[in-house]
Structure 1
Amino acid sequence: MNQCELVMSNSTLLNSLNATDFDLVLADPTVMCGELIATKMGVPFVYNVRTLPAELHFSLSQTPMPLSYVPMINTEFSDKMNLFERTLNMITYAYQTIGVRAGLSMMDSIVHKYIDSNRSFLDIVSQSSMWLIRTDFAFEYPRPLMPNVKFIGGFHCQEAEPIKDENLLDWINEAKDGIIVFSMVRSMHKSKAEVIAAALARLPQRVIWRYDGEMPDSLGANTKTMDWIPQNELMGHAKTKLFISHCTNGLYQAIYHGIPVVGVPLLVDQFDNMLRVTKRGAGVTLDITTLTSDELYETVSRVIADYTFAENAQRMSRIHRDKAMTPLESAVFWIEYTIRTKGAYHLRPAAHNLYWYQYLMLDSLALIAAVLYLLYRYLPTTLKFIFSSSLRPKMKTE
């Protein structure tokens, strides 16, 4: 918030941006200010986002979110929920929405000061021309989407190039039982590293571990630690059998190359990410807080030995790749499309212009209820009056 205040108050910077005649701002809603700069410059903006609490990236794009089968972040629910899970999912949505919207309302003061005193920050966020969301239906559960919401998950993935490090390549080629790629946090507490290293040392495969923390004493001869690894090249190598990860961007490289995953999620959406993989039979999740050396060894051995994990991972890969455009091509196309159409506002649903009670049809339901009440209350009396009036003259004639 303070950084955004500094940017919006810097007239020299804003004038410089205006002078460059930008066509569009590519923003990230987790780093607030891009949308305000775009609004100040009078140009459309496109969001590029992985996920937000309360599925805010969907609700602010007016995408329907049936809570009966769309799980909220951090619930670790699938799209097939029982009564208890659906109820908890609804409660989670409510408190996440209240909390996030209350937090974002703190940006209103900047909007009032530099943009428009009659608008809120969320009102500006909802004006996004396009939402590019870094997920994919090979991975995500089926759900409704609006025409200005596009999935670009795996846009950073590509075919693997040959490994250029000859020493590393020779080390891999000598691995008779294949290799395992292990990429989590760059360092960890030595006690946890000892647990992991001891398990890896027992494996027949060779392991490439991205790690630059304190070296564990139990590190085996089959394990090579590196502070940086050519991950995409390793994932696409024919000898790669498994990927061990905390389930962030590398997960899409595993999906792209059809590699099964042993996930050790640590925070935020990583647990939900790995749940989607396990539901598709392409991996197994472990709990870092209770992880033992035996558990890690047995899980890795099982996933490699049971070829159904590899088959399911390859199936996910085929689905992910089977597109008219790659995710990167799609992202580029929709950004350029937004520029060509001056904001792609024709793709924005009219729901943006409705009050919440109109969107939920509560006013229509109230009208129907009022009409039914009036009919119930006055129709019998009216009919009685009409019929009594029509029969009275006939009785006099007789």
Structure 2
Amino acid sequence: MLRAFAFSLLAVVRASSAAKILVIAPTPSISHQLPFHILSKALLWRGYRVTILMTDSMKISHENYTEIDLSVAYRPIRGDYDFVKIYEEPPIKSMNIMQGVVGYSAEVQLNETSVQSFIRSGEPYDLEILEGFIYVCYYGLVHKMGSPPVVKLLTLTAPSSVYYNFGSAMNPAFMPDMWLGSSKCATLHYSRLNKATYHAIPLLAIPFFGDQAHNAAKVRQSGTGVWLEYSDVTNDTLLRDIRTVVHDSKYRDSMRTLSSIFREHRVDSLERAVWWLEYVIRHKGALHLRSAAIDLHWWQRLLLDVVAFMLVVAAIAVYLMCISFRRLVQLLLGYKSEDKS
């Protein structure tokens, strides 16, 4: 019986390992690309066939691996964008610039000859892993590739639109902060924060744009590092803050405390990610985990129908109370008139 079970298990593993996975990572930034590198290598090691659209090549050769180059999106970033100037812009304008980068990146990527050939191939896949940023145009590839289940991989805290698109509750008042990712001191970049936290390395945060100022504020608030504004950077201030972070034990102690919390996992993060991807494949998209909020109208998702009902009930209650109070006053006045007469 054990032999039969072993053969059955082996058959399931082989069938699962033959699954074809499409990975789309369009953001022209190595910090966004690294998580896809790590995950894709793990999937290849498990025997899956992986096709990945990405801006930074993994530079590997594997019989089950196909890579489609999206690095054309780097051209405007390296040529047109001055990140020092972006630092001086207000946060809202900085976010608008990021949206412009996303829109341009998607346009030039989708017009690439290799991408167009891939789209025309219409090759079906069993699973699609899509970067959880604002690349809505890539949703269309899902239908071109056999409408497989879609899993979003977030390389930083997602915009509210991403949460709403997938039917997730989103309230900025209590949304958790997400830090993704050796020397004695690490500089701030959201792809390095996990690594620094894991190894208990205090941080020197020099934010430029996007969520980096928020991350720097969290570093300072948690006591795990120092926030240095780019406009204040000189040889003296930089050396001063590096020495502070390296030699003041309170920063390393705070980071050690945070690191012990960060490391407290029952399983390895990569193993957990692969397990969930395999779970989605095994259960054909895991529709039982699909949020019911996806099928709701916006006014239902915001509970406006419930709020309207409660307001109507409250209005009726107030109306009835007013009528009752008026009748009571009239009744009391009537008794007083009778007493006087």
TM-score by length of 2: 0.55
Partners of 2:215 and 2:318 lie apart in 1 by 53
Do the aligned residues in 2 keep the contact of 1:23 with 1:339 (CA within 8 Å)?
Answer: yes
1:361 alignment partner, one of 279, 303, 309: 303
Do the aligned residues in 2 keep the contact of 1:29 with 1:47 (CA within 8 Å)?
Answer: yes
Structure 1 stretch displaced more, 352-361 or 26-35: 26-35
- 1:37 maps to a residue whose letter is L
Paired residue secondary structure (1:47): strand
Q: State the partner residue of 2:130.
A: 27
**1:2 and 2:107 matched:** yes
Q: Which aligned pairs between 1:199-214 and structure 2 lie closer than 5 A?
A: none
Q: State the partner residue of 1:44.
A: 149
Q: CA RMSD in A?
A: 3.2
Q: Which aligned pairs between 1:77-156 and structure 2 lie closer than 5 A?
A: 135=178, 139=179, 153-154=180-181
Do the aligned residues in 1 keep the contact of 2:156 with 2:190 (CA within 8 Å)?
Answer: no
**1:281 and 2:223 matched:** yes
| Residues matched between the structures, number | 217
Task: Specify whether residues 12 and 321 from structure 1 end up closer, same or farther in structure 2 by C-alpha distance, changes over 3 A only.
Answer: same
Do the aligned residues in 1 keep the contact of 2:131 with 2:155 (CA within 8 Å)?
Answer: no
Q: State the partner residue of 2:162.
A: 57
Higher share in helix: 2
Render the CA deviation track for 1:233-254: whole Å, top value 9, x for unaligned: xx1xxxx4222x2423122221
- 1:64 maps to a residue whose letter is A
Residue 24 of structure 1 deviates from its aligned partner by: 0.6
- 2:141 maps to a residue whose letter is I
Paired residue secondary structure (2:309): helix
- 2:185 maps to a residue whose letter is L
Task: Specify whether residues 16 and 306 from structure 1 end up closer, same or farther in structure 2 by C-alpha distance, changes over 3 A only.
Answer: same
**1:344 and 2:286 matched:** yes
Residue 285 of structure 1 deviates from its aligned partner by: 1.1
**1:261 and 2:203 matched:** yes
Do the aligned residues in 2 keep the contact of 1:25 with 1:45 (CA within 8 Å)?
Answer: yes
Q: State the partner residue of 1:310.
A: 252
Residue 374 of structure 1 deviates from its aligned partner by: 4.7
Do the aligned residues in 2 keep the contact of 1:35 with 1:45 (CA within 8 Å)?
Answer: no
Q: Which runs of 5+ in 2 are unaligned?
A: 1-105, 328-341
Partners of 2:116 and 2:248 lie apart in 1 by 62
- 2:128 maps to a residue whose letter is V
Residue 3 of structure 1 deviates from its aligned partner by: 4.5
Task: Specify whether residues 35 and 7 from structure 1 end up closer, same or farther in structure 2 by C-alpha distance, changes over 3 A only.
Answer: farther
Residue 366 of structure 1 deviates from its aligned partner by: 2.2
Render the CA deviation track for 1:30-87: whole Å, top value 9, x for unaligned: 445442211332111111122367433333333333333448xxxxxxx9xxxxxxxx
Task: Specify whether residues 367 and 269 from structure 1 end up closer, same or farther in structure 2 by C-alpha distance, changes over 3 A only.
Answer: closer
TM-score by length of 1: 0.48
Paired residue secondary structure (1:279): helix
The percentage of counterpart residues that share the same residue type is: 28
Paired residue secondary structure (1:249): coil
Partners of 1:263 and 1:375 lie apart in 2 by 56
Partners of 1:54 and 1:14 lie apart in 2 by 27
Paired residue secondary structure (1:241): coil
Render the CA deviation track for 1:184-216: whole Å, top value 9, x for unaligned: xxxxxxxxxxxxxxxxxxxxxxxxxxxxxxxxx
Paired residue secondary structure (2:232): coil
Partners of 1:297 and 1:17 lie apart in 2 by 55
Do the aligned residues in 1 keep the contact of 2:167 with 2:292 (CA within 8 Å)?
Answer: no
Task: Specify whether residues 363 and 260 from structure 1 end up closer, same or farther in structure 2 by C-alpha distance, changes over 3 A only.
Answer: same
2:121 alignment partner, one of 10, 16, 29: 16
Partners of 1:55 and 1:321 lie apart in 2 by 28
Paired residue secondary structure (2:217): helix
Do the aligned residues in 2 keep the contact of 1:24 with 1:38 (CA within 8 Å)?
Answer: no
